[in-house]
Amino acid sequence: MAGRTITRADLSEAVYQKVGLSRTESTALVELVLKEISDCLARGETVKLSSFGSFVVRHKGQRVGRNPKTGVEVPIPPRQVMVFKPSNILKSRINGGTGNGVEDDE
């Protein structure tokens, strides 16, 4: 699956293939998990998935930005942003390691 975008339908199909639920149940399960994650993030909670990573909502204060075309300063209002912090295990897997969280010697 390298080099392509994975969609909700792909996740549902993977659940269908590996868990054995019906396609309808698999789709409902994926939707339920994604909804729960997004609801938690909307409430400002951190979502931590062991061996995968954490989704964290950060609060950014107001700051002054600059229009790159005109150079005019404009205020950027405070906002919340979501950040994903991968676990060391996921980082290792992405970089070709064993995925057990222990750095490989090269």
CA 27/CA 36 separation, integer angstroms: 14
How many other CB atoms are found less than 10 A from the CB of residue 70?
A: 8
| Structural domain boundaries in the chain | 7-43
Return d(Cα 84, Cα 90) in angstroms, integer.
Answer: 12
The whole model's pTM is what? 0.72
pLDDT value of residue 10: 95
**CA-to-CA distance for 91 and 36, rounded, in angstroms?**
25
- Coil/strand/helix, residue 98: coil
The pLDDT score that the predictor gives to residue 20 is 87
What φ, ψ does residue 59 adopt, rounded to 5°?
A: -100, 125
Average pLDDT of the segment spanning 70-86: 95
Consecutive H or E run containing 22: none
